[in-house]
Structure 1
Amino acid sequence: MQTREEIFATLRGALVELFELDAERVTLDANLYEDLEIDSIDAVDLIDHIKRQTGKKIAAEEFKAVRTVGDVVEAVLQVVNAPAQA
């Protein structure tokens, strides 16, 4: 997963699969909590799914600032493109 489009496509698939959402509801502007009805436990599941897909973990503190699907895409983009730490 490298580009925003690839990350969004993977994230949309994950949201549809994990939370049985209609793909049409999953847009970059969709609010995770209000539009998609994702709760805090679901958010933990989503973070875990992202970690399995990317091999990299998004810190829970970083995820607290996330509100929309687009925010998640940006957070994943930063994590996957971050330089490896020694």
Structure 2
Amino acid sequence: MRPKCGHADADATAPPGDGRASKAALAAMIDGRDLPCEHVDADPRRSGFQARDPYRRIVARCWVRGRDVGAEMLRRGFAVRWPPD
């Protein structure tokens, strides 16, 4: 399974806007590992648990070496917080 990172969006945040740098950073962080993940609400702004996002992707919170992948991508500047505050 290839879930979307929960609480982070990296689709168009890296120069030149196509997400290639974000994808490379994520691949380097994961380094081919199988990661433990937790299925999370795809849109916490809506009532009830949303199992998938509008693109039918599962949204999950995953960890590598004890770090939250989405939070690490945010910290490194390869993603923006989603949903926005």
Q: Specify if TM > 0.5.
A: no
Q: Which has the higher helix share?
A: 1
Classify the TM-score, shorter chain. 0.3 to 0.5
- TM-score normalised by length of structure 1: 0.35
Q: Which has the higher strand share?
A: 2
Greater C-alpha Rg:
2
Q: Name which structure has the greater RCO, CA cutoff 8 Å, separation 6+.
A: 2
